[in-house]
Amino acid sequence: DQQVKQNSPSLSVQEGRISILNCDYTNSMFDYFLWYKKYPAEGPTFLISISSIKDKNEDGRFTVFLNKSAKHLSLHIVPSQPGDSAVYFCAASARETSGSRLTFGEGTQLTVNP
Amino acid sequence: GAVVSQHPSWVICKSGTSVKIECRSLDFQATTMFWYRQFPKQSLMLMATSNEGSKATYEQGVEKDKFLINHASLTLSTLTVTSAHPEDSSFYICSASKDYPVGEQYFGPGTRLTVT
């Protein structure tokens, strides 16, 4: 049972344009969501997070949007840069019941073309 | 801050031998550490959660006798793959969690295990 899903395995955008990565979840107990960036043969790097009491969180070029009713979140990167090319993982936790335990999506490979 | 290291970064071993992977939080105390494995082009699958000084909690389907986890201190957790087989070949990643905010984990660089 895949509780966190990233339906797009890959995304390609032009440098300077917006990248939008999507994530859906099924567990209504999830109350904290995170995005990680990962390069091959390296561990994930934390990018940005959002609590379920918010619908938007912004940090520089990265903005995460949360739609609780739709159980959907998205990561916007603008403007996209070639160095953003990596695999992006969406993750979720149910802090009340499971503490720090994270459930990851399958990842989306983002390629930003110069 | 929040740096996590893993050692070794890659290891090749023969089938039937045991391999130990270390995970250290370098600049903070981690009450909780997590072990994941990742197959090519797949998600990170949580194997177990370990709290300092107590037994690890294993995810369903993970053999605790095969994947021995020890969390002896607030900065060190080890994963030992016992009697390794080729199907254990994978990328193993650890993470460490600070107390606050709950849910934020800091990941190590991973260990590539190849069993021949």
Give yes or no for residue B101 having a pLDDT over 60. Answer: no
Give yes or no for residue A95 having a pLDDT over 60. Answer: yes
Distance CA B102, CA A82 (A): 32
Give yes or no for residue B79 having a pLDDT over 70. Answer: yes
* A88 contact partners, CB below 8 Å, separation of at least 6: A6, A21, A35, A36, A37, A38, A47, A75, A107, A108, A110
Give yes or no for residue B54 having a pLDDT over 90. Answer: no
Contact A106 B49 (CB under 8 A): no
Give me the pLDDT at residue B99, please: 67
Residue of A nearest to B31 (CA): A100
Give me the pLDDT at residue B48, please: 94
Confidence label for B71 from pLDDT (cuts 50, 70 and 90): confident
Whose tokens are 């567990």? That residue is A27
Contact B107 A44 (CB under 8 A): yes
* A93 contact partners, CB below 8 Å, separation of at least 6: A30, A31, A32, A33, A34, A99, A100, A101, A102, A103, B102, B103
Confidence label for A12 from pLDDT (cuts 50, 70 and 90): very high
Distance CA B111, CA B21 (A): 8
Residue B102: which of A34, A27, A87, A22 has the closest Cα?
A34
Smallest CA–CA distance, residue A18 to chain B, in Å, is 24
pLDDT tens sequence across A39-78:
988 889 989 999 999 999 999 999 999 999 999 999 999 9
Residue of A nearest to B37 (CA): A43
Contact B103 A32 (CB under 8 A): yes
Whose tokens are 């160095």? That residue is A83
Query: What is the average pLDDT score of chain A?
Result: 93
Give me the pLDDT at residue B31, please: 82
Distance CA B94, CA B34 (A): 5
Contact A32 B102 (CB under 8 A): yes
CB B38 within 8 A of CB B50: no
Give me the pLDDT at residue B58, please: 94
